[in-house]
Amino acid sequence: MSHRERKVILSLMLLVAACLSAQERQVDNMNFDWQFSRDSLFRDSKRIDVPHDFQIEQPWVAPAANEQADNSDAAANVKSRLSARGFKEMGTGWYRKTFVAANEWKDRRVLLDFEGIMLVGDVFLNGERIGGTDYGYVGFEIDITDQLKYGQENILVVKASTMGEKNSRWYTGGGLFRPVSIVVTPKDLYFNRHPLHITTRDNRYVNITAELTNRTKSRTASIGLKIFDPQGQLVYQGEHRCKRISPARTMEARLTEVEIPKPLLWDTEHPNLYTAVVTLTREDGSIADEVSEQFGIRTIEIGPAFGLKLNGKKVLLKGYANHHTLGALGAAAYPRAIEKRIQLMKQFGVNHIRTSHNPYSRQFIKLCDQYGILVVDELYDKWTQQYAGGRVPFMNHWAQDVTEWVKRDRNSPSVVLWSLGNELQQIADLPFGDFGVTCYKMMKTVLQRYDSTRMTTVAMHPRYRNWETDSLPCDLAMKTDVQSYNYRYMYFPGDGKRFPWMTFYQSEASTGNMGPNFFEMDLDKVIGLAYWGAIDYLGESQGWPAKGWAQGVFNITLQPKPKAYLMKSLFSEEPLVHIAIVENAHADMMWNGVQTGNQQLTERLRTGTPLTLYTYTNAEEVELFVDGRSVGTKRNPADAKQRNQLLWKDIACQKGKIEAIARNNGKIVARHQLETTGQAVRLVAETDNTHWKADGMDLQHVSITAVDEKGRRVWDADDELTFEVEGPARLVAVANGDITSNESYQATSRHLWHGHAVAILRATQEAGTVVLKVKSKYYKQLTIELKTQNSKL
């Protein structure tokens, strides 16, 4: 039975159970049919669906004449105002939705649930402000029971603000970028927000605590528990009696420890997920509330002698750290776009993602549970008002943020380490003036109130102000459970010798130094590493016209750059070889003494000019053939600075073909070749979603490539394409990977770049046939017929 089939069976079981139950908990999707405007009076509005990022739709804003093209200091010019924020203007977006509150809700408890509002937000119901958020990366709920007009129309309005350009160091996006729901429960007896705390012991026993509230007189109740295995089979059913629940009280009920027969463990290759269904029943036998949660049975150990163990076996974190945005979609948290990234990264050997520098969406964490990705879950960048929302002092909301974040993600087996912040040593005005030590202790105390099963850390520059001269770790590095150093892996041996209790994790590693910063660590003892900005992203531009970070090994459309295969050679045991031609050898971009720039590499082969190239490989040796003739064989060196990247100079290619053959023990294990191509003659399409659901949320990424008569990608093709969509879907973004382009992502046309472009379609809630037409002046029209499927099937 496939993973997808198991998910369908389990979903149907839970749906049947819900239908057979009394009218307990009801969760309705509120993502569709909003009106959006930049004007609070909605004089110029349009219909949108959530998730939505209004900032990505705005035009690019080039630096003014007196501004630097990037954010560096200059004697004559001022710093670029918007380079950090993706050259998009700051502002406010307004959302309005009209809905009818059912009369059946009158005697029930009604909540609005927002998973986030970017960057800060305010919520109004029928003209009255009822709540909001001062840190939009974490969710919140609002009890609207007493504010609703039952049986009548209600007007919900949300104000979202990006705040000022200095309130983030990267592109955040703006608006209702994550799901919105309305939740209806009984008034008298119900489960609270994120009520379940599920832990496992000895990879066999399951313990569950449920948080509930009784709003009436002293009473008894029972809590039923069902546990389903990864195939959807019931493996446990039992009941816990609450002998007495005090009136008007919230309590935590600890259920009986459950032993799972023949447990299927969760790990990176076998991400087995169990499901707990917990039912709250009144003394008269009627069902009050019911919730469910997936969990995994696994153990995590962290220590200086081995780094990290998963289920008793050493596992090295091999991953990356990026911001939360999703390329051309901006900050809008589409589950399918997140899944596409995770699937791609798994193909390249990645088993780890650090959520820098804020919580990603809940769906991201659930997908990591599903695909076996190990997550370092991070809450903040800096512990200051400026970088934590910008609207109110940091100390006013950190406890609420920690509570929401931990309770939301604590049952996910993918989360292996909590990270509370990033690079605090660069900030002088942290609370308490001790470079974060007191603040860390406070946050850790609250965090452990809700989860004591994981360690905590802070990503940091391990020295104070002067990374060149300070000889000892900063005070905060002496307090965290794990010593997470950004880039400074070279301090691991010395700090470990002086402080043998330290356990090290390279929380950011430079792609510019990829290879040495992996092999020069003691891989048997460290937790692992996360390559910073492995995927290009908006914001933190190194200079206009680049709209963001361009030093990744994947471009903003997720097309792998040649260096992605060096990363794969480090992370994967699959034999590989890949040719990368050097176009520009200069990689002198530095940040705090770290080389962050990359050489410009390509797979576009040109003849007539001597070439410098790399062959990336994890094999023992590579033989290079040019125009059918061997030019030599090179062994993969043991030296960490050159390992897996063999350099070849003065390669003269005349006939247009270079091939690399990799061998282990004399046997061919991998090969890769580049050829010159003819003129582009047609377009070809590739889709990525064979089960495109008509749920109003699911996406289809359609890659368009210009090819020659032999079907080879033509890297020089740069023609303009126009896109037309017919049927139950709409075009939500177009892109081509060129982060210097001034074209909009929200348009109906896009030029090819390196012979490639992508169109992203969002399904409606109606199943049917979707036709995408791709037109250009040069190529024959390309027509792609797709189908969306009923999401309930």
Q: Count CB atoms within 10 A of the CB of residue 275.
A: 18
Read off the pLDDT of residues 658-694 as tens digits, 9 standing for 90 and up: 999 999 999 999 999 999 999 999 999 999 999 999 9
Which residues, in sequence order, are CB contacts of 620 under 8 Å at separation 6+? 635, 636, 663, 664, 665
Task: Indicate if the pLDDT at residue 45 is higher than 80.
Answer: yes
Q: Are 713 and 756 in contact (CB under 8 A)?
A: yes
Would you state the pLDDT for residue 23?
61
Please choose, from the candidates 115, 169, 119, 167, the residue with its C-alpha nearest in 3D space to the C-alpha of residue 141: 115
- The pLDDT of 384-398, averaged and rounded, is 97
Averaged pLDDT for residues 583-602: 80
User: What is the Cα–Cα distance from 681 to 709, expressed in whole angstroms?
Assistant: 6
Q: Which two tokens stand for residue 241?
A: 């009696």
**Averaged pLDDT, 245-259:** 92
How confident is the model at residue 466, as a pLDDT?
Answer: 56
Mean pLDDT of the chain: 94
Token pair, residue 463, equals 């020295």
Mean pLDDT of 771-783: 97
State the first-to-last Cα distance of the chain, in angstroms, to the nearest integer: 17
pLDDT band at 21 (very low <50, low <70, confident <90, very high): very low
Per-residue tokens: 34: 């909003």
Q: Is pLDDT above 80 for 77?
A: no
Average pLDDT (282-303) is 97
Sign of CA pseudo-dihedral 128, 129, 131, 136: positive
Question: What pLDDT, on a 0 to 100 scale, did the predictor assign at position 12?
Answer: 42
Lowest mean pLDDT among 73-87, 423-437, 510-524: 73-87
Q: In the prediction, which pLDDT does 258 show? A: 97
Residues 6+ apart with CB under 8 A from 285: none
Under the banding of pLDDT at 50, 70 and 90, the label for residue 18 is: very low
Average pLDDT over residues 538-547: 94
Q: What is d(CA 572, CA 557) in angstroms, rounded to the nearest whole number?
A: 23
Distance CA 288, CA 370 (A): 30
Position 271 confidence tier, pLDDT thresholds 50, 70, 90 = very high
- With bands split at pLDDT 50, 70 and 90, how would you rate the model's confidence at 226? very high
66 pLDDT above the threshold of 70 = yes
Confidence of residue 73 (pLDDT cuts 50, 70, 90): low
Q: Grade residue 465 by pLDDT with cuts at 50, 70 and 90.
A: low
Instruction: Select from 330, 328, 308, 326 the least CA-distant residue to 317.
Output: 308
pLDDT in tens, 94-149: 999 999 999 999 999 999 999 999 999 999 999 999 999 999 999 999 999 999 99
Q: What is the pLDDT of residue 22?
A: 44
Percent over 70 (pLDDT), the chain: 95
The pLDDT assigned to 296 comes to 98
pLDDT at 468: 58
Q: Looking at the predicted structure, is the pLDDT value of residue 454 above 90?
A: yes
Is pLDDT at 24 greater than 90 in this prediction?
no
State the pLDDT at residue 72: 64
pTM score, whole prediction:
0.96
Span 312-332, average pLDDT: 98
Q: Which residue has the higher pLDDT, 81 or 17?
A: 81
Structure confidence at residue 55 (pLDDT): 98
